[in-house]
Amino acid sequence: MADIIKLLPDHVANQIAAGEVVQRPSSVVKELLENAIDAGASSIKLIVKDGGKALIQVVDDGIGMSETDARLSFERHATSKISSAEDLFNLRTKGFRGEALASIAAIAHVDLQTRTAKSETGTHIKIEGSKVVSQEVAVTPKGSSIAVKNLFFNIPARRNFLKSNQVELRHITDEFQRVALVHPSVAFKYYNNGSELFNLPSESFRQRIVHVFGNRINERLVPVEEETEVIKISGFISKPEFAKKSRGEQFFFANGRFIRSPYLHHAIVAAFEGLIKPDVHPGYFLNLEVDPSSIDINIHPTKTEVKFDDENTLYAILRSTVKHSLGQFSVAPVLDFERDRNLDTPYAYQQKEAVLPKVAVDTNFNPFAEEAQTVSKQTTAYKKQSVKGWEDLYGAISPDNFSSVEFESEGNVPEIFESQDDISQGQQITFQLKRKYVITTIKSGMVVIDQSRAHQRILFEKFLQDITVKEAVSQQLLFPMELNFTTKEVALLSNIKDSLSSLGFVLAISKESVKVTGIPSIMSESGIGTVLEELLRDFSEGYENGGFSQAELMAKTLSKSLAIKTGQLLAQDSQIALVNDLFGCKEPNLSPFQKKIFITLSGDEIDKKFN
């Protein structure tokens, strides 16, 4: 039998390795930014075009590379970070396997320009699909500039799996924020299609958080600081009242590297127990420093999942540290049964001394003097005015006039069960059960309707029609409302602004805030912020993977936010209108989230219950 096992060519092996390292444009951004950090850069610039599909360029002022290093950096498993297997358990750098640049060069057009501080000239290398097209001497600034163009140009199947430019840009922004947050001493600039998204100077950790997520987050931060023999914890947590339904503002950094750890996340949630609702999540920005030999970061290609030697101890320390910070800064509630808030000294009077009351007495006053007696007589000489003639007020009324007066009757008291007259006239009878279901009769029996799901279906079809026809009614606000959002959220709102306008929203979007001057007529002014936050959360959490269009996703979110909730009492007219509107929909059986809206009980099924 002939031999059938053979070695793969290098360019094929590189493409296979690229499947682990490069999943989408954000993976390239992560690798290039971490390489710039490892190079000791103090200033990094990220340039992106078309969601990273056309161009991803990272420019840094690090140590740069020599001509030989520049060429070797694109070879597989070529690295300057480790020299033996033991070094894998004492890592203090971002990259170490030497696979990133080789994998990227296998599936894209790469253009590298680099120069060291000691060299007068640098090196310019062009690579296309692992093949070196040119290498020449070039005049370039100190540091490195690497441009990745036409990602997945030679693997069309992988390129077709990429999402829209807006979705890929959001993933790139997420990776940028993770690297920028954990390195506040490094200045970052981020450009997309020629426009500046972030310009972050070298600053403190708290300032970096504020510049990334907006000024509104500054008042929400509570410092966390703890140092033990096992771990050093520093950073910030959000106050309990600012907990969100989304998980956006949750960051763990272990030894300067962003990680995901459901186990440690549970420790944070346990520390907030009793302070937040079960369906919301606290925000945190925590730096964890442990002995590099006690952590394994090489268990996953993306290096975001790690393994700690003693997770149970870290869990206990982290939980107690967060609890201590909440209590130290008076964030946790204190039980004091003797304290009365009404007796608290106002802030403006806390530093003032008490003033003794004074009584002014007229020492010259003589109660037996003639003038005093005259005043006393005038005071007691008050007399009632005459009430003569009060009978004339009722003179026009005589007992005979009462014969034409009609008294309001008590009216007909509605019966619990429908009468035969109602049935013959076809009048619709409905009633509410447990403030959750609306029950109505049909010819064959009865229908039990989930009021919340029914209203979601009604609003969903209405919003879809408004987006398509663009004839929604807008309610103008007397006082415009200004809401603050992060740069990422503002960019997302800009992308869906046209669809929001079709629904009746009137928005003026600036760099970090949104001014709302008009809302849909069915929405209350108090719910604007909540609706927009839920809309941004659904778009940012990747609902696009469900294959929904932008209009469908927006209609789903708004219908869920604005629909009547379980526990809401409905008047009789509202119940009838809900039933009629539901069965006027194109799809009355299922809610927008594919859940059953109503069930029917026939007369035979009811009869069987009594057998």
β partners of residue 145: 59, 113
Domain boundary among 279, 294, 328: 328
Cα(379)–Cα(392) distance, integer angstroms: 33
Q: What is the pLDDT of residue 298?
A: 65
Q: Are residues 170 and 112 in the same domain?
A: yes
DSSP-based three-state secondary structure for 423: helix
Supply the mean pLDDT for the chain.
81
- 170-208 pLDDT tens trace: 899 999 999 999 999 999 999 999 888 899 999 999 999
Full-prediction pTM beyond 0.95?
no
Q: Are residues 192 and 57 in the same domain?
A: yes
Q: Are residues 64 and 194 in the same domain?
A: yes
Cα(121)–Cα(396) distance, integer angstroms: 115
Q: What is the pLDDT of residue 58?
A: 95
In a domain, 382, yes or no: no
Cα(113)–Cα(121) distance, integer angstroms: 10
Q: What is the pLDDT of residue 347?
A: 60
In a domain, 48, yes or no: yes
Burial of residue 428 (CB within 10 Å: 0-12, 13-18, 19+) is: middle
Q: Are residues 458 and 577 in the same domain?
A: yes
In a domain, 380, yes or no: no
Q: What is the pLDDT of residue 93?
A: 67
In this model, does residue 301 exceed pLDDT 70? no
Domain containing 562: what range?
430-600
Element (H, E) at 211: helix 205-213
Using DSSP bridges, classify how beta strands 284-289 and 257-259 pair: parallel, antiparallel or unpaired: unpaired
Q: Are residues 552 and 450 in the same domain?
A: yes
Cα(13)–Cα(72) distance, integer angstroms: 17
Q: Are residues 317 and 240 in the same domain?
A: yes
Q: In residues, how long is the chain?
A: 611
Q: Are residues 323 and 290 in the same domain?
A: yes
pLDDT confidence bin for 295, thresholds 50/70/90: confident
In a domain, 372, yes or no: no
594 DSSP 8-state letter: S
pLDDT confidence bin for 276, thresholds 50/70/90: confident
pLDDT confidence bin for 143, thresholds 50/70/90: very high
Angle, alpha carbons 223-259-254 (nearest 5°): 55
DSSP codes joined into one string, 327-375: HHTT-S----TT--GGGSPPGGGTTPPP--------TT--TTSHHHHHH
Q: Are residues 212 and 161 in the same domain?
A: no
Domain boundary among 294, 328, 362: 328
Total number of domains constituting the chain:
3
Q: What is the pLDDT of residue 159?
A: 86
CATH number assigned to the domain comprising residue 586:
3.30.1370.100
Do 256 and 183 contact (CB within 8 A), yes or no? Answer: yes
Using DSSP bridges, classify how beta strands 513-520 and 474-484 pair: parallel, antiparallel or unpaired: antiparallel
In this model, does residue 266 exceed pLDDT 70? yes
- 108-138 pLDDT tens trace: 999 999 999 999 999 999 999 888 999 999 9
The one-letter amino acid at 514: V
Domain boundary among 268, 302, 328: 328
Least confidently predicted of 69-83, 249-263, 434-448: 69-83
Token digits for 89?
């358990």
Mean pLDDT of 542-550: 55
CA nearest 17: which of 120, 100, 121, 134? 100
In this model, does residue 372 exceed pLDDT 60? no
In a domain, 487, yes or no: yes
Do 434 and 425 contact (CB within 8 A), yes or no? Answer: no
CATH number assigned to the domain comprising residue 276:
3.30.230.10
Least confidently predicted of 92-96, 316-320, 396-400: 396-400
pLDDT confidence bin for 18, thresholds 50/70/90: low
Beta-carbon contacts of residue 18 (< 8 Å; ≥ 6 apart): 103, 104, 106, 107
Give me the long-range contacts of 476-480 (CB less than 8 A, separation at least 24): 476/506, 476/517, 476/518, 477/516, 477/517, 477/518, 477/519, 477/525, 480/515, 480/516, 480/517
Name the percent of the chain lying above pLDDT 90.
29
Cα(275)–Cα(332) distance, integer angstroms: 7
- 316-367 pLDDT tens trace: 999 999 999 988 876 655 554 555 556 666 666 666 777 787 887 777 777 7
551 against 271, higher pLDDT: 271
Among 1-5, 83-87, 276-280, name the most confident range.
276-280
